[in-house]
């Protein structure tokens, strides 16, 4: 017998592990996807050092913009 997924379980199923950079400063809660980080890897909020880690996140939605006519 199949049991339907709840909304919470369905959302968890769509998450994937993503590489991120997280601020080392315990008072700062900033983090950024590694693909969007700056080359110097400084925290965008407090300019402190960043630490590489992983996080479960939903996939990014690629937006398509039609060319202007």
Specify if 4 maps to a domain: no
Total of domains in the chain: 1
Q: Each residue of 17-45: pLDDT tens digit?
A: 999 999 999 999 999 999 988 888 899 89
As a dihedral over the C-alpha atoms of residue 14, residue 20, residue 25, residue 27, rounded to 10 degrees, the angle is -20
Specify if 2 maps to a domain: no
Specify if 46 maps to a domain: yes
> Which structural domain range is residue 44 located in?
14-57
Specify if 41 maps to a domain: yes
Buried b (16+ CB within 10 A) or exposed e, 53-64: eeeeeeeeeeee
Question: Of the given ranges (30-34, 47-51, 59-63, 65-69), which has the lowest mean pLDDT?
Answer: 65-69
Specify if 24 maps to a domain: yes
Specify if 30 maps to a domain: yes
Specify if 38 maps to a domain: yes
* Mean per-residue pLDDT of the chain: 83
Specify if 6 maps to a domain: no
Helix (H) or strand (E) holding 22: strand 16-23
Contacts of 33 (CB under 8 A, 6+ apart): 18, 19, 20, 57, 60
């Amino acid at each position: 017998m199949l049991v339907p997924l709840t909304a919470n379980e369905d959302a968890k199923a769509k998450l994937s592990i993503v590489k991120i950079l997280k601020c080392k400063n315990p008072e700062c809660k900033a983090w950024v996807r590694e693909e969007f980080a700056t080359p110097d890897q400084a925290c965008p909020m407090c300019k402190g050092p960043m630490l590489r880690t992983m996080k479960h996140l939903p996939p990014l939605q690629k937006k398509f913009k039609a060319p202007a006519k």
